[in-house]
């Protein structure tokens, strides 16, 4: 799954042949904030970023994470509705939104690409809604790990550049739950954590992880405390082999 407030990507900006500016950021810097003028659109070249909403009183809500090749920042209105921050040192390409829109009015192929990008972003956002409605914490985290592996293409090793807070806000659970689930996944040998902060992970049993992503009802992080709940000895009920 790619992403974003209109799913721009590197291919789109290349197709548009726009003048681009190269931007370098350190860790934990803000690219733009909620309310800022939306003059540019961006594509990630290196690094990792997070797109979020600042909420009134309580904590923020993470909309998505951004990796190389993925774009963000396109708005129809004059101002940004979200905030984007770097998670580690990052390199971006920025192009003027006006230039992109102008190019789209003359180049029909580009206009169609732009529309496809927007429709793609709707599909991704609706998929996320669907997951939040139906998936339990363990399933959700398992699926997240699988997608992180796909998006980072550095085979098998996953780098989680975000904090537990970002991760928890994105998945709709608490940081404690994320911590516990990752811990049990490691104890069970499904994943292996390389560093102390558990931000580098290797998937050891991808099949199992995929099964957990579609149904984790026989696998929960409190199992060790309570003992099992389903004693039906169905440790591999073959019904969910969808993906």
Site residues, a copy of itself (CB under 8 A): 5-6, 53, 55-58, 61, 63, 74-76, 81, 101, 104-105, 108, 111-112, 114-116, 118-123, 125-126, 128-130, 132-134, 169, 171-172, 239-240, 242
What's the min distance (Å) between Cβ of 71 and a copy of itself?
Answer: 13
| C-alpha to C-alpha distance for 93 and 23, rounded to whole angstroms | 6
Tell me whether strands 157-159 and 49-53 are parallel, antiparallel or unpaired.
unpaired
* 155: its two tokens: 């085979």
Question: Could you tell which of DNA, a copy of itself, none binds residue 158, using a CB distance below 5 to 8 A set by kind?
Answer: none
Q: Of the listed pieces 91-99, 113-121, 122-130, 165-173, which binds DNA according to CB under 7 A?
A: 165-173
Size of the site for DNA (CB under 7 A): 27
| C-alpha to C-alpha distance for 115 and 81, rounded to whole angstroms | 20
Question: Quick one: 4 or 138, whose CB is closer to DNA?
Answer: 138
DSSP letter string over 4-20?
Answer: -SS--BHHHHHHHT--E
What's the min distance (Å) between Cβ of 147 and a copy of itself?
Answer: 15
Give 234's strand partners. Answer: none
Question: Quick one: 113 or 178, whose CB is closer to DNA?
Answer: 178
Binding of residue 200 to DNA (CB under 7 A): no
Residues in 204-243 at the binding interface with DNA, rule: CB under 7 A: 217, 220-222, 226, 229
Question: Residue 220, Cα to own-chain centre: how many angstroms?
Answer: 23
CA 234-239-243 angle, to 5 degrees, is 125
Question: Quick one: 4 or 86, whose CB is closer to DNA?
Answer: 86
Taken in order 27, 28, 29, 30, the sign of the CA dihedral is positive
- Contact present, 89 and 68 (Cβ < 8 Å): no
Q: Where does this chain bind DNA (CB under 7 A)?
A: 136-138, 163-165, 172-180, 182-183, 196-199, 217, 220-222, 226, 229
């Amino acid at each position: 799954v790619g992403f974003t407030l209109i799913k721009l990507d590197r291919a789109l900006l290349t197709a548009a042949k726009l003048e681009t500016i190269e931007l370098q950021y350190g860790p934990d810097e803000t690219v733009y904030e909620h309310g800022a003028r939306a003059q540019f659109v961006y594509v990630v070249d290196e690094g990792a970023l997070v797109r979020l909403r600042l909420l009134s009183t309580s904590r923020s809500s993470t909309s998505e994470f951004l990796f190389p090749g993925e774009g963000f920042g396109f708005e129809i209105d004059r101002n940004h509705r979200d905030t984007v921050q770097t998670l580690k040192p990052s390199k971006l390409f920025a192009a003027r939104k006006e230039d992109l829109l102008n190019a789209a009015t003359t180049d029909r192929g580009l206009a169609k690409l732009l529309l496809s990008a927007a429709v793609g972003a709707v599909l991704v956002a609706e998929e996320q809604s669907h997951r939040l409605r139906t998936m339990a914490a363990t399933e959700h985290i398992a699926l997240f790990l699988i997608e992180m592996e796909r998006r980072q293409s550095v085979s098998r090793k996953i780098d989680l550049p975000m904090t537990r807070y970002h991760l928890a806000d994105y998945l709709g659970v608490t940081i404690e739950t994320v911590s516990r689930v990752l811990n049990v996944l490691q104890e069970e040998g499904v994943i292996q954590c390389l560093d102390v902060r558990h931000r580098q992970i290797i998937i050891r049993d991808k099949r199992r992880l995929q099964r957990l992503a579609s149904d984790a009802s026989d696998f929960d992080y409190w199992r060790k405390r309570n003992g099992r709940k389903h004693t039906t000895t169905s440790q591999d009920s073959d019904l969910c082999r969808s993906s």
